[in-house]
Structures are given as structure tokens and as C-alpha cells.
Amino acid sequence: MRTLLMINIPPTLEEDMVDYLLALDDVDGFTTFAVNGHGEGSYANVAEQVSGHRRRIHFEVLVEPGTVGTVIAGLANQVGKGIHYWYLPVSGFGQT
């Protein structure tokens, strides 16, 4: 069974995150997309408070369960702060 690790970062950290993930031997690949975060207004700057959302970059990384801790352990030192993550077991996956 694999694990889907989802990482949500400020746009300013995107290049560092890409470099970090590409350098990890246990990460075969990942998907990124731009998202808008809503809620927790105390972290938003004035423009974000007015617009009602914060721009973020979302990463989805499919890894073996034992790799999750390795990826998470290096986030603060190798990429930066303001990173949110969560992970879920994946019961199946495939391609055609």
C-alpha cells in the first residue's frame, strides 16, 4: 500500500520544494498545482484578507509509507516555513 503525501506551501517556496523533492531517491515523481487557501485569516496579509484567500502551491507525492517521515523531516531545513502537509493511505492506483 502506498501513501499520498499532500504538501501545501507559499508560492515563494515552490522552486526550493521542487529541488528538494527531485533530490530525494525515494520520490519517483510528484504533481503540483496552484490553489487558493481559505480560512485562518491571522496568517493572511492585508491583500489576502481583502480577497478572502491566500495563493498556495499544492504538491501530491505518492510514496511508500516509510518515505513520508523522511520527506517531512527535511521540509523546514531544506525548503522553509509556512508548510502544511497531510497524508493518507492509498488502497490502489494504476495507469492505462
Q: Is the pLDDT of residue 8 over 90?
A: yes
Round to whole Å and give the CA distance between 27 and 20. Answer: 10
Report the pLDDT value the prediction gives residue 34, as an integer from 0 to 100: 96
Report the pLDDT value the prediction gives residue 62, as an integer from 0 to 100: 96
Q: How many angstroms separate the Cα of 89 from the Cα of each of 3, 5, 6, 54, 68? A: 4, 9, 11, 28, 11
Round to whole Å and give the CA distance between 3 and 75. Answer: 17
Per domain, the residue ranges of the chain are 2-89
Report the pLDDT value the prediction gives residue 38, as an integer from 0 to 100: 72
pLDDT tens, residue by residue, 38-79: 766 556 555 555 556 678 999 999 999 999 999 999 999 999
Average pLDDT value over all residues in the chain: 89
Q: Is domain 2-89 given the CATH code 3.30.70.120 in the classification?
A: yes
